[in-house]
Chains A and B, each alone.
Chain A
Amino acid sequence: MSEFRVCPDSGFYFHKSAESLMKVNAVVGIVALLVAGILAIGVVLTRWQEVHLLPADMFYMVLTAHGINALLFWCIFFEMAILHFASSTLLRCRLATPRWGWAGFFLMLIGAIMNNVAVFSGKSSVMMTSYVPMQAEPHFYLGLILFAVGALIQVFVFFGTLVIAQQEKTYDGSVPLVTFGAITAAIIAVFTVASGAIILIPTFLWSVGYVSHIDAEMYRVIWWGMGHSSQQINVAAHVAVWYLIAGVLFGARPMSEKVSRFAFLLYIFFLQLASAHHILVDPGISAEWKIFNTSYAMYLAVLASMVHGLTVPGSIEVAQRAKGYTKGLFEWLRKAPWGNPIFSAMFISLVTFGFIGGITGVVMGTEQINLIIHNTIYVPAHFHATVVTGTTLTFMALTYLLIPVLFRRKMFLPWVAKMQPYVFGGGMTILILFMLGAGTLGVSRRHWDMDFAGAAMAFEYPAIAYTLMAVGAIGGLLAIVGGAMYLIVAVGSLLFGGKLEPSAGILESFAGKPLHASVYNINKPARLEMAPPLPEDHNKGGGFEAPGTFALAILLLVTFVVYYFINWKYLSSVWPLG
């Protein structure tokens, strides 16, 4: 029976089981984003001190749910769709063990719902990090455990698909770069889940009374093995999607397969003890351990991101120059399709992730500088630049690509989609920059009341801190509008978007539903061939292939260096410690 279809617009092949798993993972991810986005309204309007919307208990509950739904459920569900896409679709291979795939998906779904039930009952307002000895309800931890196990199963279905693709020789040569990036994300996911299991299972047993004590410091060290690594899954996945979008929109070829793949490999090798970044001001951790485990002597994971930061836009520049956009340094960029939300979302993501997320992350992950940043609102500002304008905006770009390709629907309200990346990216950038400023003034993260109303002793932040928080909140509201625009387009397209072929539908390709023979008419896709050969003079010339990108990279470096040393200067002004 023919179980494959080919998308006539993009040429991508879809195996029915992989296709339906991609759909459900993506849709549930988007629902988690919807929940997180609604909760964001409460967070933003409470931290805007002049509005101060929610009471304390409600605020902490909302903040807990916002963090978990956005950071874990939205990102990881969507990443499962990306994994199946990068294996089954890109390699033109049937999905390995579809039933296990479904089992993994349902475990994740049950876990996510269970965790949300625990949080919304109001008795598990422990924040995403759930630091012991503060205790949540048992099903808070159990939900996370089920979610993690489900994710692990889907990751192994991904690995299994790769094995089948290799054995059945569905592709020639090595796996594509995008698939290589997805493999990176999947490998990081395995040790993320392992760290999570090591700490969450005993914590669950502690919450039901079988374990009497969990050491608070040990919890922090191991929990962050999950908490930090899970964000590295996001980075690997969204960088892979950047390469995909550069390929789809521009026909861009990686500047060098070797360099880009090596950069992905560095992520795997040099992220292992990433929890070190989170315990820089904790008791009893030796300086040598912290210095080594945050940098491995040369920050090779940072190097990897700096490499992708050059090669992704560089590959676009090379492709654009080949099309004749060769004037000056930046004609290739000016003439890029800024009205196409796939491109604008991806490029805004690239710039904000590099210039804001990357730089602030390295600065605050520096052993001593962490003293003036730890647990201030600078921290969420940093990770909104990585996970929101970085990962989330990239996944939004991918959604715009998948609506016609995967769901075979026309985009609903395309003019809304066209503006969406600017509204969302712009609003979020305002939020981030002003929160960075407030954090520098010492404003605390995860804090209900910067007035400290009712406290026995008074403390007042400078007036400017209130202004920064208020402007940041306005940016946050703008970003929420941008998020709503995305949801309207995404959900609207699935429900009301015109069908690109009569059989197209959300439920198409699901088991139990007869496949349309006119669409699912491929028994075995043609073998995926290697990319067209490189030109004879590839990389042999003396000049720069992408001078505009190089100029941008130098700008990034200068910004990085200046900002880095500003922070050392600031550190030198505080009380001497030893």
Chain B
Amino acid sequence: MIDRSTAPAPEKSLLFNLPEVKELELANGIKLFFVRKEKLPIIYTDVLVLAGSKFDPQNKRGLGYLTSLLIDEGAGEYDSLQLSDEFEKLGSIFSVTSNHDLISMTLLSMKENFNRSLDLLSKIILTPRFEETDFLREKKKVLDRILQLKDEPSFIASTVFEKILFGETFYAYPEIGYEDTVNEISNNDVKKFYHDIFTAANSKFIVVGNLTEEEAVEQFNKYLGGWNGSPKTSVAFEMPKRNPTKFFFVHKENSAQSEIRVGHIAKKRDAADYIPTRIMNTILGGQFSSRINHNLREEKGFTYGASSVYQYYQNAGSFEVSTAVNIENTGASVSEIIKELEGIRKNISPEEIEFAKSYLIKQFPSRFETYSQVAKNIEQLLIHNLSVNELADYTAKIEAASNEEISKSALENVFPDELVVVAVGDREKVSAQLKDVSGNNAVEVDNSGNVLN
């Protein structure tokens, strides 16, 4: 008979070689971060342009996003459809994503089609067409998407939360913009954004794949080594203050659930206590076995899932608890979340810390399995202007964080008296429940976070 009563012990510790990241430079001075990964004949490229919607003019919110949609609508000798066709013939996958801080263009290609795919990528970067017909079509698509987003409670909850949190700063505005601000955008605005902000000086390249360092430098120099132009840009930012806790709600008629966001302004990614804070949040709400998910899901059954995250923007940070709960438990859920935020400040057990450290340290190798994972690990550091050497130090720093530092990080990064609480749900059900929790009337706001009377 076997003993099933205890978990089997692991074998000797794991042999994992962290991929070596080489920091290279192209002829035009752009940094190229290179990782050789040989398992498959594929190459993943990430062009990181620090040119996000934070650069949008106040009356033209949505400009950076629209630019990111238009960047691959035709380039060089190819119109929009031809360009897409060229990638498909190669079996290469090109995609663009963007947020407040950046536009990122990624390319996954077979090694045999890499040079040709990079050639196409360079045309997108260097010679986008920005034709009027494409502009009008994509702009209309954005406006209709904004209309559709009125139906999505989770988008509304996050948008309203960020609007209230970030006040008048650029992180307060949804990247997609608003109907009236997108209406203001012209094709010339897009071209100007491309010319002034989407520049070589704001960019970094990452390549992970089955090629040599020399091949990478040669090909990037060949296709993108001549990219030059406007200087590096920046835009002023003043970190908003935290305020005493305040409750808000958005009316959504007959909703089956309420979408809840609870949180506050937090430190930036480069804070000295980033590591202890990460360990602390792992315990609080950063994974399935966390306190918040255990309480709201596994004990109370209020939700399918609940989590907390420290969100790191380039210029700011935020702390955000998210969940969707059946509407009758809106107030109870908010109370429980606040209770957990108070609780983490009072006591963290050594067992919890041991668990969280083990989780973070031992899962580290799995973050380097795919080509895009490797690139995204590097990208995260570059966004925050951190050295790629951070990867090599990461697990040792987790190991070294003391119980005192971790407990202290809760006191210095969780503020249960300075919360923004947002619930999106039916007014009839939500507003009374929120009042029971806070003692005051919750403020009703619209889909964009503007206060209603």
Query: Do A and B share a complex?
Result: no
